[in-house]
Copies of this chain bind each other. A is one copy, B any other.
Amino acid sequence: MNYRFAGRMGRVPESFLAELFRVSAVPGVISFAGGLPGSAYIDVEGIREAAREVFADEGRTALQYTTTDGYLPLREFIAGRYRQRLGLPATAEEIQIVNGSQQCLDLVAKIFLDPGDAVGMERPGYLGAIEAFSLYEPVFHSVPLDENGPDLEAFGSLIRDHAPKFFYGIPNSQNPSGRTYSQERRRGIAEILDETETVFYEDDAFGELFFDGQPRLPVKRYLPDQTVISGSFSKIVAPGMRIGWIYAPAPVLREFNVAKQAADLHSNFLCQVILHRYLATHDLDAHVRRVSAVYGRHCRLMCDLLDDLMPPGATHTNPEGGMFMTAALPSGVSSMDVFREGVREGVAVLPGTPFYVNGGGEDTIRLNFSAAGEEEITEGMHRLARVVRRLV
């Protein structure tokens, strides 16, 4: 049988993830390659209690079909949190529930992109976004990211020259770099986009996880009608429920809703109701503070060890939050070699290349600091440094 697959399937970059999952499952390998929140910081007891209450009070309703936009009390909670934390005038009508913010990547691309359309991204950019967008066959253009965010001159040229349907960015603790846009850059981006037809797609998976507990104002604050924000409970409550959301202007949400209905009717309702019950009966702020503090300790430990143990020429970013940092290897050391040798030494890292849409990143690796504990981080960094020193 000759299966005639669509042309788009040839556009997906080869994924490391399958290999990664295999590697991460090898006993004894310490993995900094994945993107898991720390399992120890999932409030299993709290969610269990919420589930118990939901089954007792409204199990029959929660197990039936529901509307595509999602559970209204959950959308009200999310909107209320935007008003409270960030001063954005959000309402439940502007929020729609999805299967983790990954589904936003698929559906935003679906409603905006015809083959050949331009898409703007950060360089490096989020691997999962590149994969999701690729299936809609766009032309990628990217803007280098420095410690304050996208280079504004390059950003302006990109928008002017290519008029992308949207620019996708992660202003808070970017994946893979861990970098956070300064407020000046956010304002600058909004000024450049104002009066263009390019939408700013603001992925905010990590905005709750600043180590200092202080929220940063989103680009949407400066460009409300032109920005869609995606958010997720995966990093602050639990990823296994697959619940995220989009917060978007009404005309975008209408199309998004059509695409969501065609994609899977609605997100799992049982988990939406359980999650809402959990949020209504537990202190999310306190939980998020606790998790952020732990990740902050992990991050500092990892930075210190990289400084102490890596050979000269190695550098790393200094995240203010989130779950990832990027390390640059000494000149001439290849990240693919570090990946392969690392696995033999019992440590897994993610090579930087899949984060570059048009080549690059051969000398960088992404390091996750949320999944492993402090002892594992210490041992893993020693293993990594041994590998890199050997390859210099």
Interface check A125, CB cutoff 8 A: no
* Interface bits A152-165 vs B (CB < 8 Å: 1, else 0): 00000000000001
Q: Is the CB–CB distance between A240 and B64 below 8 Å?
A: yes
Q: Is the CB–CB distance between B36 and A60 below 8 Å?
A: no
Knowing A103-B263, A165-B4, A270-B271, say if A258 contacts B12 (CB, 8 Å).
yes
Which residues of chain A from 27 to 69 have a CB within 8 Å of any chain B CB?
Answer: 34-37, 39, 42, 44, 47-48, 51-52, 55-56, 59-67
Q: How far is the CA of A241 from the CA of B136 in the complex (A)?
A: 29
Q: Is the CB–CB distance between B36 and A262 below 8 Å?
A: no
Select one of B67, B99, B111 contacting A268, CB under 8 A.
B99
Select one of B65, B112, B241 contacting A239, CB under 8 A.
B65
Q: How far is the CA of A265 from the CA of B268 in the complex (A)?
A: 14
Inter-chain contacts of A333 with B (CB < 8 A): none
Inter-chain contacts of A62 with B (CB < 8 A): 240
Interface check A269, CB cutoff 8 A: yes
Q: Is the CB–CB distance between A63 and B15 below 8 Å?
A: no
Interface check A242, CB cutoff 8 A: yes
Inter-chain contacts of A265 with B (CB < 8 A): 99-100, 102, 128, 242
Inter-chain contacts of A241 with B (CB < 8 A): 63, 268-270
Interface check A346, CB cutoff 8 A: no
Which of A141-149, A248-256, A337-345 contacts the other chain? Answer: A248-256
Q: Is the CB–CB distance between A112 and B5 below 8 Å?
A: yes
Select one of B6, B165, B239, B267 contacting A242, CB under 8 A.
B267
Which residues of chain A from 164 to 198 have a CB within 8 Å of any chain B CB?
Answer: 165, 197
Smallest CB gap from A199: residue in B = B3
Interface check A238, CB cutoff 8 A: yes
* Interface bits A251-293 vs B (CB < 8 Å: 1, else 0): 1100100110111111111110000000000000000000000
Inter-chain contacts of A388 with B (CB < 8 A): none
Interface check A7, CB cutoff 8 A: yes
Interface check A2, CB cutoff 8 A: yes
Q: Is the CB–CB distance between A55 and B63 below 8 Å?
A: no
Q: How far is the CB of A388 from chain B (nearest CB, A)?
A: 28
Interface check A86, CB cutoff 8 A: no
* Interface bits A114-145 vs B (CB < 8 Å: 1, else 0): 11010000000000100110111000000000
Inter-chain contacts of A391 with B (CB < 8 A): none
Known: A42-B60, A128-B265. 14 other contacts (CB 8 A): A1-B251, A2-B197, A42-B64, A44-B63, A47-B59, A48-B55, A64-B239, A65-B234, A99-B263, A99-B268, A106-B264, A241-B268, A242-B266, A271-B271
